[in-house]
Amino acid sequence: MGADLWIISIAIFCLGALMGALNFITTTLDMRAKGMTLMRMPLTCWAWFVTAILGLLAFGVLLSAGILLLMDRNLGTSFFVPLGTVNGVLTGHKGGSPLLWQHLFWFFGHPEVYIAILPAMGLCSQLLSVFSRKPIFGYKAMVYAILAIGFLGFMVWGHHMFMSGMSPYSAFAFSIMTMGIGVPSAIKTFNWLGTLWRGKIRFSSPMLFAIGFVSLFVVGGISGPFLAQPVLDIYLHETYFVIAHFHLIMGVASIFGIFAATYYWFPKMFGRMMNEPLAKTHFWLTFIGAYAIFMPMHYYGMAGGLRRYSQGTEVGWINQLWPIQRFISIAAFVTIAAQFIFVFNLFWSMKKGKKAVDNPWEATTLEWTTATPPPHDNFGGLTPVVYNGPYEYSVPGAPRDYVMQTDAPVTARH
């Protein structure tokens, strides 16, 4: 009963995600301001657009898988359950395949990790440009990289299943595609560093989290090519090396995106600034804390430490590694405690924060052209007209070090 309710709730979630995805796609394609060509869109919007396409294609599969699972549980079908016993009792099913479930789940599950990370990639790209006072390095390459990640993201689900009993030949194909997805990811990292290079960096709290994001994306990404190779996955599969990898990249890096975005757009949403000293304290504790939690997991996994062990007493080599678990637990408690600084800052600043001006970060995109907080329909009935790309900072000859998207067209080109 509980499991059925859980499956139904996931199915409802899928429906919601599908509707949301359609909304984002149609809004992006049909409702852009005059002059806002696709190649003038902020990378945040590009990332959300591709994320929505992934959501549209992936959640439908999870919904179908959930319906099949409900039928197996309640209507006597056998999509996923083969002939066999549980606790010595025949299950009453025959002919189904547990691998089919894994395929359906990961066909959704892998695009899902890009659904989690792409928005953070987009908005951190944007913040790096804003706070470096420099145009983003390789805007077009960034857009193509987002598209490539979205496209390849659908062809790599089998890398979760190298040890599952799936054909080893398909493992070969999935592995090549997975290594291929490292290429657009590397392009993005290169461009983030390129954006910082020769910039004039302002260390406001959103920027700290964006820089933290880059660092975490690198450390989380670099373990990907280990796990993408089936030969190394033989040993590393289901160890903490995997936990370290995906928590850093799709977990903590994405969450850094959420923090960066919250500190950045909070003034526009609530008309007040968040408290900077508290935000910086939150950053340092979370950044160091995240590394303290997840770096040791690499070592634990390399020594063969398995995930999902409630006790380390039975397996000799895991028992020896248990002190690492203790260290990780302490680091996790401290890091979790630090999040209350953020929660406090969030609510306190809504009421008591310093009043925000319309464009506190001196940024160029449309949301900063309107009042803070924005009026009904965001622009008070006056839809802005766009003349410039989203990242025109430090344009030679311009009166300020930033040119809004709605300002007169920039002629300087480099």
Total residues at the site for another protein (CB under 8 A)?
A: 106
**Paired tokens of 180:** 């291929």
Q: How far apart are CB 212 and another protein at their closest, in Å?
A: 9
- Ordered DSSP codes for 61-97: HHHHHHHHHHHHHHS---SS--S-EETTEE-S--S--
> Does the footprint of another protein cover residue 2 (CB under 8 A)?
no
Among 40, 103, 160, 237, contact with another protein (rule: CB under 8 A): 237
Does residue 373 have a cis peptide bond before it, meaning omega lies within 30 degrees of 0? yes
- Give the three-state DSSP class for 382: coil
Stretch that binds another protein, among 15-23, 28-36, 50-58, 279-287 (CB under 8 A): 279-287
Task: State which residue, 123 or 324, has the beta carbon closest to another protein.
Answer: 324
Q: How far apart are CB 30 and another protein at their closest, in Å?
A: 28
Stretch that binds another protein, among 45-53, 209-217, 340-348, 357-365 (CB under 8 A): 209-217
DSSP 8-state assignment for residue 160: G
Query: What is the distance, to the nearest Å, from the Cα of residue 175 to the centroid of all Cα atoms in its chain?
Result: 22
CA-nearest of 123, 163, 169 to 146 is: 123
> Does the footprint of another protein cover residue 285 (CB under 8 A)?
no
> Does the footprint of another protein cover residue 238 (CB under 8 A)?
yes
Stretch that binds another protein, among 172-180, 260-268, 344-352, 368-376 (CB under 8 A): 172-180
Q: Enumerate residues 119-148 that contact another protein by CB under 8 A.
A: 132-141
Query: What is the distance, to the nearest Å, from the Cα of residue 220 to the centroid of all Cα atoms in its chain?
Result: 12
> Does the footprint of another protein cover residue 400 (CB under 8 A)?
no
> Does the footprint of another protein cover residue 77 (CB under 8 A)?
no
**Paired tokens of 350:** 């809504």
Answer whether 345's CB lies under 8 Å from 279's CB. Answer: yes
Q: Enumerate residues 323-362 that contact another protein by CB under 8 A.
A: 324
Task: State which residue, 50 or 321, has the beta carbon closest to another protein.
Answer: 321
> Does the footprint of another protein cover residue 277 (CB under 8 A)?
no
Q: Residue type for 3, please?
A: A
> Does the footprint of another protein cover residue 201 (CB under 8 A)?
yes
Q: How far apart are CB 328 and another protein at their closest, in Å?
A: 13
- Alpha helices in 32-167, H assignment, sequence order: 43-74, 98-132, 139-152
Q: Enumerate residues 303-322 that contact another protein by CB under 8 A.
A: 303-304, 306-318, 321
CA-nearest of 126, 83, 155, 297 to 213 is: 126
**Paired tokens of 314:** 């039975």
**Paired tokens of 337:** 């405690």
Stretch that binds another protein, among 28-36, 107-115, 281-289, 366-374 (CB under 8 A): 281-289
Among 13, 151, 190, 379, contact with another protein (rule: CB under 8 A): 190
| Type and span of the H or E element at 262 | helix 253-270
Among 77, 97, 281, 406, contact with another protein (rule: CB under 8 A): 97
Among 67, 68, 71, 187, contact with another protein (rule: CB under 8 A): 187
Dihedral, 354, 358, 363, 365 alpha carbons, nearest 10: 140
Q: What whole-number distance in Å separates Cα of residue 411 and Cα of residue 388?
A: 10
Give the residues across from 402 on adjacent strands.
Answer: 393
> Does the footprint of another protein cover residue 111 (CB under 8 A)?
no
Stretch that binds another protein, among 14-22, 117-125, 201-209, 333-341 (CB under 8 A): 201-209
> Does the footprint of another protein cover residue 191 (CB under 8 A)?
yes
